[in-house]
Amino acid sequence: MKAFFVSRIAAFRYAFQGWEYVLRTQRNAWIHALATTCVVGLALWLALPARDWAVLVLVIALVWSAEFFNTAIEAIVDLASPTYHRLAKVGKDVAAAAVLIAAGSAVLVGLLLLGPPLLLKLNALFVG
């Protein structure tokens, strides 16, 4: 039983090392971090209901997961094909496109969930 828990602790440590690697090496991860911080802050200010929070958490996780998978695919492709290869480029480009799709979807969900209550709040602040 002890070995099980020790291996689980190691697994978490490896996962956090991967997270740290993405934040340290991927410039787009900082854009995602800034967007995540802004969206969470705005959602807190708007006091969104729990269902809207659930959707926001899902799309935020989708974008971060796509970025992590993209980073993993890029590393594996670089290992397997250190010199230029057309298919290596395709693999990297498709992985990047997955991040773009996830981020675009997150923007649309954010506009749908945050837009109406934001307009109401701004209207109340500035119009009276």
Active-site residue list: 67
* Half-sphere exposure in the Cβ direction for 35 (13 Å, CA): 18
* Count of CB atoms situated within 10 Å of the CB of 76: 13
For residue 83, the surrounding DSSP H or E stretch is none
* Count of CB atoms situated within 10 Å of the CB of 71: 19
* Count of CB atoms situated within 10 Å of the CB of 100: 12
Q: How far is CA 42 from CA 71, 88, 113, in A?
A: 28, 39, 11
